A and B are shown apart, each in its own frame.
Chain A
């Protein structure tokens, strides 16, 4: 093919995160990776660089393209840790997070599989100063997995296997919950409410009911929230949320709700 330019072309900003990261992980230049991730993070903050939906799409596509082509790199625990930290840097919010992106799902499956294979080794290798970005990155992948109804993985079971030394499991659970609350897509997965048991109940508010898709999940949520029983408004508030959520199944909803309240009065 004829090339009009003889001097190449530029690489877009978020792709430099993928490509420098891949290069340093692939060549096992771990000390230089530390300087790189620090400089990248500083650069994004100093220049307030934002991430669009299409940036996110390109990012997961590029990352998945490179790492799936050389998947054996990810047999190294440190490689998995550093890859997660790269994902953890992304300033994700409701507007740019594409939870159902195909490459994001493939990426999530590939990395979560590696993590479940080498769970103990990875957490043993994790340094304190790597934890924040690692946890954030892991929460992002687990969010993608939980919202994928065709997924073969189970993030909640995986999380349950993480040791809670240094509060590690609870911290990841907290980041995962915050991420799910940020993008606020109701969750079909039945066991997601187990997540709430891993969290400090003071972080749980009634608005977590927004994530539920059935009455059992709602009841399960309510069991984890400490309600101020002296507050008269609470009962009405819960009743209102129930009715909003299950407008079409009003009668049965009311019935179950009454049973629930009755049971909590007895206990």
Chain B
């Protein structure tokens, strides 16, 4: 059950609208298997994608949380006007900026979203791999979920 876009499929390399290309975005985040949250890239209130947790990095010491590699594979279209776009519900949406978001389902009742303060750009699609080095979310005090932006 995912509330994110499922339209991000791979097709043939060339469409009538432009050239298809894919970009992998990597982020590091410390987490444990028991934590049920999603790391997302939000391009538009309607256009958002989940990162997948590729691996947790073990150094032989038991910990609650391990640094984990998250990856998002984005299928993009470089339009004939040289814009970068994402196909969403059969139509093309130009994309440039996005924000990272943590989405947690707490107590099965409501969802809490925490957005990063910074806005990120898809800058250079000639490189198929992009690494994020400064993933920081504004964090509220332990237990104080109320201070976050919630949607019930």
Contacts and interface: CB of A to CB of B under 8 A. Distances in A.
Contacts of B136: 10
Interface string A62-87: 10011001000000000000000000
Interface string A1-20: 10111111111010110011
B58 A69 contact: yes
A contact face: mostly helix, strand, loop, or mixed = helix
A50 interface: no
Nearest to B38: A7
A43 to B, nearest CB: 5
A7 B36 CA distance: 7
B8 interface: no
B107 to A, nearest CB: 10
Question: How would you classify the secondary structure of chain B's contact residues: helix, strand, loop or mixed?
Answer: loop
B9 interface: no
A22 B37 contact: no
Interface residues of A, number: 28
A11 to B, nearest CB: 4
Contact of A65 (B28, B59, B133, B143): B59
Interface stretch (B63-71, B73-81, B87-95): B63-71
B130 interface: yes
Contact of A3 (B32, B58, B68, B133): B32
A10 B59 contact: no
Contacts, number: 89
B31 A8 contact: yes
Given A6-B35, A8-B31, A13 B133 contact: yes
A3 B35 contact: yes
Most chain B CB within 10 A, of A10, A43, A62, is at A10
Contacts of A39: 127, 130-131
B22 interface: no
B34 A3 contact: yes
A5 B142 contact: yes
B131 A19 contact: no
A13 B69 CA distance: 14
B142 A4 contact: yes
B28 A19 contact: yes
Interface of B: 26, 28-32, 34-37, 55, 57-61, 64-65, 67-69, 102, 104, 106, 114, 127-131, 133-137, 139, 142-143
Given A10-B30, A11-B28, A13-B133, 16 more contacts: A5-B139, A5-B142, A6-B104, A7-B35, A8-B29, A8-B30, A9-B65, A9-B139, A10-B135, A10-B137, A23-B57, A39-B127, A43-B133, A65-B61, A66-B59, A69-B60
Interface of A: 1, 3-11, 13, 15-16, 19-20, 22-23, 27, 32, 35-36, 39-40, 43, 62, 65-66, 69
